[in-house]
Amino acid sequence: MERNKRNILIFFAGLWAFVEVSLGTVLSLSKVPFRGMLMASFACFILISFRVLNHTPRSSIYLATIVSVVKLIFSFGAGALNSAIAIFIEGLIAEIIFSLIRVNLFSSILAGALVVLYPFFHSLFTQTVIFGVDIFKLYNRILSELQQILKINNTIGVLELILFFSILYLLIGSIVGASSFWFSKNVLTRIIHYGKQARQ
């Protein structure tokens, strides 16, 4: 691997791994809502910035593999394995998109939307596997009873909620994708290539 490209790879892998190991662990322990979206937004920024600076085929999946192995080494238990799988799949999503469409604003928005949406479906998938489809029947019962107590006429089911959150995640992901592309093109490129702050 070319020395400069390798330096960029290690920098982004180190940064992503640092945030996953420190902030990721804190957020996971504190059970803050939307923590998956927050971590995926950062992953999205790293994946897009890295691909803008180093457009080599299979580099996104390689970066994600290194970070997931670091996550496995530094964290313990089922949570670590779950996060490592999520990191790997986020890298895979970015790799597929950037292999099909070259890195531009459109592909960054698409990658951002799908990478940020992924943790939401990861959590739904994990819940379905562990507790079975019956868990959604339970959610539905709780929701309809709460709506009856609150005297809300328009009944919202779990499916409508999933649809609403999917759209929300897609929108936020698109914004993160677009801003990551803009930031990496206008600011990061200059920092990495010239080693100084863009506005100096």
Partner 1 sequence: MESKLVSKIKFWFFVILVVASLAINNFFFFLAINIAALFFFKKEERGSITYLRKPKFLFSIALITALPIIFAYGNTQEFYSTIEMIGKILLRGFLLLQTMAILINRLDKNKILNYFNKKFPDFNENLTDTISALNKFKEIFVETRKRMSTKVLVKKLISNPVRFFEKFLARLWEEYSKQ
- Judged by the rule CB under 8 A, the positions of this chain that interact with partner 1 are 1, 6-7, 9-11, 13-15, 17-18, 21-22, 31, 62, 65-67, 69-70, 72-73, 76-79, 81, 129-132, 134-135, 137-139, 141-142, 145, 183, 187-188, 191-192, 195-199
The torsion angle over the Cα atoms of residues 9, 11, 13 and 19, rounded to 10 degrees, is -160
Please compute, for residue 66, the number of CA atoms within 13 A of its CA located in the half-sphere on the CB side.
17
| Nearer Cβ to partner 1 (37/67) | 67
> Shortest Cβ distance from residue 65 to partner 1 (Å)?
6
- Residue (17 or 113) nearer to partner 1, CB: 17
CA-to-CA distance for 130 and 29, rounded, in angstroms?
Answer: 20
Residue 55 CB, shortest distance to partner 1, in Å, is 18
Least separation in angstroms between residue 148's CB and partner 1 is 9
- Residue 100 or 134: the one with the smaller Cβ distance to partner 1 is 134
Beta carbon nearer to partner 1, 7 or 104: 7
Nearer CB in complex with partner 1: 114/184:
184
Nearest distance from residue 140's CB to partner 1, in Å? 10
Separation between Cα atoms, residue 68 and residue 63, nearest integer Å? 9
| C-alpha–C-alpha distance, residues 168 and 50, integer Å | 25
| Joined tokens for residue 8 | 């960029």
What length is written for the chain?
200
> Distance (Å, rounded) from C-alpha 39 to C-alpha 77?
19
Would you say 184 and 52 are in contact if contact means Cβ atoms under 8 Å apart? yes
Minimal distance, residue 106 CB to partner 1, in Å = 22
